[in-house]
Amino acid sequence: MSRVEMAGPRMSSPAAGRTPARPPAKPGARTVSRPVADRPGRSALMWRRQRWMLRPAAWLVLCLLLGGGVYALVRTVQPGSVAANWRERTGAAIGLPVTDIVIEGREKTPEPMLRTALGLSRGDKLLAFSLDAARGRIEQLPWVQSATVERRLPGTVVVTLLERRPFAVWQTGGKFVLIDRLGQVVAEQDPAKDAAAFASLPLVVGPGAPGSAAALLDQLAALPQLRARVVAAVRVGERRWNLRLNTGTDVLLPEGNEAVAMAKLMEMQASQQLLERPLQTVDLRLPDRVVVRPQPEPKLPVPSTAPKRPT
């Protein structure tokens, strides 16, 4: 007789490797849910979404920094330095050509003379010439007061001029030359060829006149009635001025106090018509008085023979 075995659920012991079941929660106990360990947070999700933009942005910033550094090196290095020599060698190697030369502020300076002083032509290497040397040559030209020379990539050179403006005519040693406000000679010209310029500008005479002319002429411009009578301003001893009027009168001004003396003169003109009189000099050098000297009486001609008495 065979033994019949009933199949049923196999019971396993804790030693078989299974985790024992949790005990049931007590009635009324609070259940705490734990976050899933592999779920990213909100900041991590934003980072994953924007991460693809970081590499192009980094390359863009790097290119801008490199480009700005190269541009600053091209424009600001000192001539003769290692960086300048490297720049010129690099420019010669790169071979950037000059495609355009722009000149600004030129009126009186002859353009061929200016281009010769610049020493640069279209097709030359843009980075292989000295800006300072070119500027120094240009500022030696007669009409040029100051100049700037700059590169504008990829191939333009810009020359900006500040030309001397004729301010007065200076008579010295029998010659007439134009001077600017700083007293520098603008250009020696022939009055016969440029009569309009010489006739329209005030005349100053004597050694030392150019350097002090601007202050006196500005003071005269504030007194138009007196300015209209002045033919020339004469520098005396390189320290003070005399005004020669169109009537032949010389007005002697004090040293360093010209404006007050000229204002006093115009007050006397308004009250006494002083400048209408035939005067040789009006001396304003003393602060408390005005000394005038009349013009000498014309001498009568001396007869060659004694007059005959009437009979």
> pLDDT (tens digit, 9 = 90+) per residue, 167-222?
999 998 888 888 999 998 887 666 666 666 678 899 999 999 999 999 999 999 99
The pLDDT value given to residue 60: 77
Beta strands 185-187 and 230-236: pairing type? unpaired
Homologous superfamily, domain 95-163: membrane protein fhac (3.10.20.310)
Would you state the pLDDT for residue 22? 56
Residue 104 has pLDDT above 80, yes or no: yes
pLDDT of residue 1: 42
Q: Which three-class secondary structure state does DSSP give residue 46?
A: helix
Return the DSSP state at 118.
H
Sorted by where each begins, the domain ranges of the chain are: 95-163, 168-294
Kindly give, in sequence order, each residue whose CB lies less than 8 Å from that of residue 186, ignoring residues fewer than 6 positions away.
142, 143, 164, 165, 166, 177, 178, 179, 180
Contact indicator for 121, 178 with CB cutoff of 8 Å: no
**Above pLDDT 90, what percent of the chain?**
45
pLDDT tens for residues 218-277? 999 999 999 999 999 999 999 999 999 999 999 999 999 999 999 999 999 999 999 999
Q: How far apart are CA 210 and CA 205, in angstroms?
A: 9
Q: Domain 168-294, what architecture?
A: 3-Layer(aba) Sandwich (3.40)
Q: Would the pTM count as exceeding 0.85?
A: no
pLDDT value at position 56? 72
pLDDT at 229 (0 to 100): 96
pLDDT, average across residues 135-161: 92
Instruction: Work out whether strand 168-172 and strand 203-205 pair parallel, antiparallel, or are unpaired.
Output: parallel
Contacts of 126 (CB under 8 A, 6+ apart): 91, 96, 97, 98, 151, 153, 154, 155, 157
* pLDDT top residue among 250 and 34: 250
Please indicate whether residue 296 or residue 16 has the higher confidence score (pLDDT): 296
Q: Hey, which of 79-93, 117-131, 238-252 has the most confident mean pLDDT?
A: 238-252
